[in-house]
Chains A and B, each alone.
Chain A
Amino acid sequence: MTYIRPAFHHPALPQNELGYTRKDYEGSISTLCAGCGHDSISAAIVEACFELNIEPHKVAKLSGIGCSSKTPAYFLNQSHGFNSVHGRMPSVATGAYLANTDLLYLGVSGDGDSASIGMGQFVHAIRRSLNITYIVMNNGCYGLTKGQDSATADYGYVAKAGHKNIYEAIDLCGLAIELGAGFVAQSFSGDKKQLIPLIKAAMSYQGFAFLNVLSPCVTFNNNSGSTKSYDYIREHNAVMSGMDFIPVKEEITADYQEDTVREIELHDGSYIRLHKLQQGWNPEDKYAVVNALHKARASHEILTGLLYINNDQMPLHQIIRLTDTPLNKLTEQALVPGAGILDQINASFA
């Protein structure tokens, strides 16, 4: 690509509380296809981080391999990024997180990366309650190798090449809830209004926050017969509630009638406010959510919004009683037991 983004910095660009502009959260120019859903998700991440007043260098963004995994190059240029190997981002993120629990970890993956080659690592990162925001940009196909079906492609959908998918799809949200993820949401790359607050809430959550974002592949999976096309998702999207994210310091204002609003306080003191709740919908009731996902699947509906939240989730570093000082800051003084202790150890083998 030969695009060059102007270095010009407009003095009137709006700044967040830290004095950063949106530009400070941007990345390099995307090399994905024009109209790719992934670019909209990247833009939503930029907006979410800007609005959350995150210091960009306090974020580590990690990914696997595939179109989705390229995107960390397209946002948060001032954050360290790690484009690892196919399906193995969760383990790299686990190691990085254990080394320094002071950073925010943002994992970006795709349906091939997480539901096929990386299924093992995806599953175990959830099981361990890794403290990460894990976004799957889900387009139901392998874009980078020209459109093969992925494991999240729906049964019976028709690929651009004309064949019907003969296998059942893996529902990553249902799986994440089963495995004990504390925050599970589903959204659509074309719904910025829903996506941005969801990313903000996920990044404020302590524990494994999973976001499955349906993100049409304009080149290989946007045809009629596809169940991951822009048109199909718009037609079958069942929004479970509206959502606002209210940061710690902001005053809670009552815009909605009490009986249709549900507020969930996160550990850092921020709030998720759900409104226009579907009747009987309760994202804190695991059994009801799993049930709803099964029903939606049978009726070809795509549930979006905050699907499930468990505020009692304990993140990995607490489970294993890790010290507060990041491990990467410990020096010889804390790490070496000393020659005297080694003499004692030697004596126990004499």
Chain B
Amino acid sequence: MSGINDFVIRFANVNGTGSASANFLFAKTLFRMGIPVSPKNIFPSNIQGLPTWYEVRVCDKGYLGRREGIDLMVCVNPQSLEKDVASVKDGGYFLYDSTKPLHTEFLRSDIHYLPVPLMSLCNENFTDARQKQLFKNMVYVGALAVLLNLDFEVIAQLVGEQFKGKEKLIQPNILALNLGADYVRKHFDFPLSFHAEKRNLTHGKIMIDGNTAAALGALYGGATVVPWYPITPSTSLVDAFTEYAEQYRVDPETGRKNFAVIQAEDELAAMGMVIGAMWNGARAFTATSGPGLSLMNEFLGLAYFAEIPAVLIDVQRAGPSTGMPTRTQQSDVLLAAYASHGDTKNVLLFPSTPDECFELTATAFDLAEDLQTPVIVMSDLDLGMNDHISEPLHWQNGRTYNRGKVLSAEELEQTKGWGRYLDVDHDGVPYRTIPGTHPQKGSYFTRGSSHDEYSRYTEDADTYVRIMDRLLLKFHKAATLVPEPEFYGDDVSAEFGIIYFGTTHHAAMEALDMLSAVDLTAYAMRLKAFPFSQKVRQFTERFDKIYVIEQNRDAQMRTLLINELEIHPERLIKVLNYDGTPITADLIVHKISSDIHSSTLIRS
């Protein structure tokens, strides 16, 4: 299976030893060589000392999902040796630091060993203790460059870019690369049977993480108030927003800021500030992960019932509770959809790629203000924190914001009998006013308690039901405004359907091809939003059997589909991955084909 531009390499490092930038250099080199590549961080919730892995899949066919089966393991962490040796597939390679000999218990007869004395090479050539450790990483990149036929010019160019402004560091880095390269040339046959070859498959693409892309989406989408509370894996999103805002949102004359980033005392306060700011007419958002979403439920309910726009980006991680903070999952679907006590429903958007993180985050502000309700962008750790090959981020100059039904002073002047929750247009969305707009008109008392059309407190049964039903009407309208699903595969001869969303995308695309190779033809729908549109309903009505692929234990999206569209549960079959690692095409194909075979057996 492995061959030219088709292999998986895994790096086993110790957290906090500077391996991340060397590993990124390796992946970026392949990208610059025009080869599709997908790197994944598999890291601990730790700053220094624990094992961390970086996995890079190289794939000419452009499959960017994770793949099982490690062709080459680069092991610079004695702590995880045993596991790392065991994880190499038959016939694979194991590159390790041979400064100290490898214990015989780690020798397997079915794999090849590539001993490179990383530490002693560094000890001989560098004096500074920190440099000795850091350059160990560059030595193995140099070794890999020869073993895998990487373009040295590209590597040197990237090193130059990385150390722009710190030119002194370029030469020692190149030296370290050469130490590894020379060692390989002297001691091993090269390149390996599987290796890289230049292509032109990444031209015009970018390699970016979803959190940075979402942050830019918020910047372009007009976010000005950004309260937040640090939590993995969402932290880098607000960091990126701050970095770009400091660059592009500061008045050049006064040095004063057109944005306010506030580190809140907790996620409750972060959401409260978002709601306060959007109530007052500014665009605001916060980013969080599962535990933060749990805390924000109270405020999301208020925003839903009092009809205040709010934007939240949930970079999902493995739950429940603290769960696995550095592992990925799609396990907040139900909590987000029905956040808060009482009858509530929230608008959700599901990006699959960084360019969608950008676009859907910008769109979330329009939707939130148009619908006067919270909109939650459902990213995840895999999308948010890993670099992905993506289409460039796109913004059309002249694009305007949809601020929704907000009355100006002039409009208020002409309006008679305005009521904050009057459904004037019969579409479920009332007109709102921003504080300070008009001296006599448009003031009202926002409340999370039951209210009538004029925002007055009421416990009147009919009024309460009227308001709650209008909120449903508004949610039906939302289903017509949210992004439509995307469809893939053969819609004519398909025997069954597949539904998935978010970061399952790449694995699902690969699985579709693998299934059709064994004559299992499927038509797939990638959900991009909740509530579900007519197109989603039509798709679910088309097939007797639909596999719902998701990355959680309880098949939450399947539950949401069954609940909202009243589909018979038998027709929706679970395909689940919830071990915290990104889903693979192999898993999808295995589960779908074994289900098809077992049901064929039962029938015959």
Q: Which residues of A contact B (CB under 8 A)?
A: 55-58, 60, 62, 72-73, 77-85, 88, 90-100, 102-103, 120-121, 123-124, 128, 317, 320-328, 330, 332, 334-339, 341-343, 345-346, 349-350
Evaluate contact between B299 and A327: CB separation under 8 angstroms.
no
In the complex, what residues of B have CB within 8 A of residue A92's CB?
272-273, 275-276, 279
**Residue in B closest to A342 when the chains form the complex, CB atoms:** B395
Per CB-CB distance, the 5 closest pairs between chain A and chain B, nearest first, are A95-B276, A91-B272, A99-B282, A95-B273, A328-B281
- The docked-state distance in angstroms from the alpha carbon of A298 to that of B395 is 65
- The docked-state distance in angstroms from the alpha carbon of A243 to that of B511 is 78
Q: Is B90 an interface residue (CB 8 A)?
A: no
Classify chain B's interface size: 35 or more
Q: How far is the CB of A327 from chain B (nearest CB, A)?
A: 4
The contact of A78 among B207, B400, B401, B443, by CB within 8 Å, is B443
Q: How far is the CB of A45 from chain B (nearest CB, A)?
A: 15
- The docked-state distance in angstroms from the alpha carbon of A323 to that of B224 is 11
Evaluate contact between B446 and A88: CB separation under 8 angstroms.
no
Which residues of B from 274 to 301 have beta carbons under 8 Å from A? Answer: 274-284, 298-299
Evaluate contact between A78 and B280: CB separation under 8 angstroms.
no
**B417-440 interface code vs A (CB 8 A; 1 in, 0 out):** 000000000000000011111111
- The docked-state distance in angstroms from the alpha carbon of A196 to that of B458 is 32
Which residues of B from 208 to 240 have beta carbons under 8 Å from A? Answer: 208, 216, 219-220, 222, 224-225, 227
In the complex, what residues of A have CB within 8 A of residue B437's CB?
57
In the complex, what residues of B have CB within 8 A of residue A96's CB?
276-277, 279-280, 435
In the complex, what residues of B have CB within 8 A of residue A77's CB?
443
- The docked-state distance in angstroms from the alpha carbon of A56 to that of B437 is 11
Q: Is B448 an interface residue (CB 8 A)?
A: yes
Q: Is B206 an interface residue (CB 8 A)?
A: yes
Q: How far is the CB of B280 from chain A (nearest CB, A)?
A: 4
Q: Is B576 an interface residue (CB 8 A)?
A: no
Evaluate contact between B251 and A337: CB separation under 8 angstroms.
no
Q: Is B269 an interface residue (CB 8 A)?
A: yes
Contacts known (A57-B435, A79-B435); A121 close to B257, Cβ less than 8 A = no
Q: How far is the CB of A86 from chain B (nearest CB, A)?
A: 8
**Residue in B closest to A324 when the chains form the complex, CB atoms:** B256
- The docked-state distance in angstroms from the alpha carbon of A94 to that of B286 is 14
- Interface stretch, picked from B11-19, B189-197, B259-267, is B259-267
Q: Is B106 an interface residue (CB 8 A)?
A: no
Contacts known (A80-B446, A99-B282); A337 close to B219, Cβ less than 8 A = yes
Evaluate contact between B272 and A84: CB separation under 8 angstroms.
yes
- The docked-state distance in angstroms from the alpha carbon of A201 to that of B270 is 30
- The docked-state distance in angstroms from the alpha carbon of A290 to that of B205 is 63
Evaluate contact between B224 and A94: CB separation under 8 angstroms.
no
Interface core residue of A72, A93, A322, A350 (most chain B CB under 10 Å): A350
The contact of B224 among A81, A335, A346, by CB within 8 Å, is A335
- The docked-state distance in angstroms from the alpha carbon of A60 to that of B448 is 17
In the complex, what residues of B have CB within 8 A of residue A324's CB?
254, 256
- The docked-state distance in angstroms from the alpha carbon of A320 to that of B433 is 28
**Residue in B closest to A18 when the chains form the complex, CB atoms:** B439
**Residue in B closest to A55 when the chains form the complex, CB atoms:** B439
The contact of A73 among B216, B256, B445, by CB within 8 Å, is B445
Evaluate contact between B222 and A332: CB separation under 8 angstroms.
yes
Q: Is B396 an interface residue (CB 8 A)?
A: yes
Q: How far is the CB of A31 from chain B (nearest CB, A)?
A: 8
- The docked-state distance in angstroms from the alpha carbon of A164 to that of B438 is 51
Q: Is B268 an interface residue (CB 8 A)?
A: yes
The contact of B262 among A72, A82, A128, A334, by CB within 8 Å, is A128
**Residue in A closest to B208 when the chains form the complex, CB atoms:** A349
The contact of B448 among A83, A90, A99, A328, by CB within 8 Å, is A83
Evaluate contact between A99 and B277: CB separation under 8 angstroms.
yes
Evaluate contact between A94 and B262: CB separation under 8 angstroms.
yes
Q: Is B302 an interface residue (CB 8 A)?
A: yes
Q: Is B542 an interface residue (CB 8 A)?
A: no
In the complex, what residues of B have CB within 8 A of residue A326's CB?
282
In the complex, what residues of B have CB within 8 A of residue A58's CB?
436
Q: Is B562 an interface residue (CB 8 A)?
A: no
In the complex, what residues of A have CB within 8 A of residue B249's CB?
335, 337
- The docked-state distance in angstroms from the alpha carbon of A58 to that of B485 is 45
**Residue in A closest to B387 when the chains form the complex, CB atoms:** A349
- The docked-state distance in angstroms from the alpha carbon of A346 to that of B207 is 9
In the complex, what residues of A have CB within 8 A of residue B206's CB?
346, 349-350
**Residue in B closest to A121 when the chains form the complex, CB atoms:** B269
- The docked-state distance in angstroms from the alpha carbon of A290 to that of B278 is 38
**Residue in A closest to B268 when the chains form the complex, CB atoms:** A88
Contacts known (A336-B220, A349-B208); A88 close to B444, Cβ less than 8 A = no
